[in-house]
Amino acid sequence: MKKLWIYCMAGIGMAFTACNNGNAAKNLANGVWQAKLHRADGAAIVFNFEVKDTAGNKVLYVINANDKLLVDDVKVTGDSLFIKMPFFDSEFKAKLSSDSAVEGLWIRHLADKDVSIPFSAVAGKAERFAVNTPATVNVSGRWVTQFVSSKDKDKAPSTAIGEFKQSGNIVHGTFLTTTGDYRFLDGVVDGDTLRLSTFDGSHAYLFTARVGKDSITDGRFFAGIGDGLEFWSAVKNDTAALQDERTIATMKPGQQQLDFSFPDLNGNKVSIKDDRFKNKVVIITLMGSWCPNCMDETGFLSKWYEKNKDRGVEVIGLAYERTTDFEKSKHALEGFLKRFDVKYPVLITGVTPADPEKGPKTLPQLTAIKGFPTTIFINKKGDVQEVHTGFSGPGTGEHYEQFQADFNRLVSNMLDAK
């Protein structure tokens, strides 16, 4: 029997409807499923999701370690399954061969094209990866990690800090970088083989490696729909630290204040010089609807703003979307902001994150924009007090707790200042 992604590839929307003709209705089974994204190089990016009935409708939760991402746009029509992810403009279109088995495509809608990868899932399989033998090593701790491109080996390696916790064969953790983290990684150590993966609608990652007492070798990092592959290795170092996030991007010498004006989603111009922001502490977040770390920060900021807006603080989001088209950017942001119930203004810069001139075009007072999100803290005098690059989200555990404490301390000190 041919795979669905072969005979239903042409004209994706019409094809899945056609596949439904004449077939009995199926019912997406409740419970935990194991899903796989099947890359052309043979690597399978594994993740889990749980299906439930809520108010007469199907919903699912994408599971990565301790995180559960609610997906509430799930439709079953005959034997066709349609799942629209809440962020990052991606979706699944698939066929239910039974109530407990599905095959189809994961589709990402990029700014200028759609890309897809074959997808399959089976119900009643809660494991992430099969475990054949007890773990011979424990990977818990901090690891200085080097990633090297498989395509450009002359390129300087990038550095991250792997931070993992292992119980028996099960491993949870993340990689910390100067511009953010890899969110929730979930996997196992099987003998001396490490396997970790994550999926959130944007990130689709698989890490494999051999683990020794103080080193990790033969690492492979498979990223996304295409042929993204990096080699990695690591050395254990429990005192390893990243560059101070406050030193990566700063104000240029002689500059103290920002000066910008961009349209909100309704097309109304908003300026940092507006009366609304005078004599207040203002937090600027440079973000995008495509950015998983921005999703984590937006979730934090939205709740924080609702609790603290009456203290004399404001938040502004500056969105760098993957297109310069205002309407497309607006569309991408609307669902993102609705999910987090964002009440502070979010402005569309009209500049993409890939633009090498994004800093000079939007915030020329900064030395650079090195990553997303970047958070800028402005005191009541209108002066920039600190610039923080990156965000340590919930997947980083104690680092996220420390971030919240530092954030609240900094804002309180700015509010108390005369």
pLDDT tens-digit series, residues 181-205: 999 999 999 999 999 999 999 889 9
pLDDT at site 59: 96
Topology alike, domains 4-123 and 141-236: yes
pLDDT at site 23: 57
Q: Over 80: is that where the pLDDT of 259 sits?
A: yes
Q: Span 380-392, mean pLDDT?
A: 95
Q: Which of 111, 119, 50, 45 is nearest to 82 (CA)?
A: 119
Kindly indicate the confidence band of residue 12, based on its pLDDT and cuts at 50, 70 and 90: very low
Nearest-10 crossing angle of helices 326-339, 292-308: 60
Percent of the chain at pLDDT > 70 equals 94
pLDDT at site 154: 76
Kindly indicate the confidence band of residue 418, based on its pLDDT and cuts at 50, 70 and 90: confident
CATH class for the domain made up of 141-236: mainly beta
Phi, psi of 396 (to 5 degrees): -95, 5
pLDDT tens-digit series, residues 44-102: 999 999 999 998 899 999 999 999 999 999 999 999 999 999 888 899 999 999 999 99
What Å distances lie between residue 231 and 61, 234, 337, CA to CA? 31, 11, 36
Average pLDDT of the residues of the chain: 91
What is 4-123's CATH number, 1.10.3470, 2.40.128, 3.30.200, 1.10.287? 2.40.128
Question: How many residues in total does the chain contain?
Answer: 418
Kindly indicate the confidence band of residue 176, based on its pLDDT and cuts at 50, 70 and 90: very high
3-state secondary structure of 411: helix
Q: Which residue ranges make up each domain of the chain?
A: 4-123, 141-236, 261-416
CATH class for the domain made up of 261-416: alpha beta
pTM: 0.88
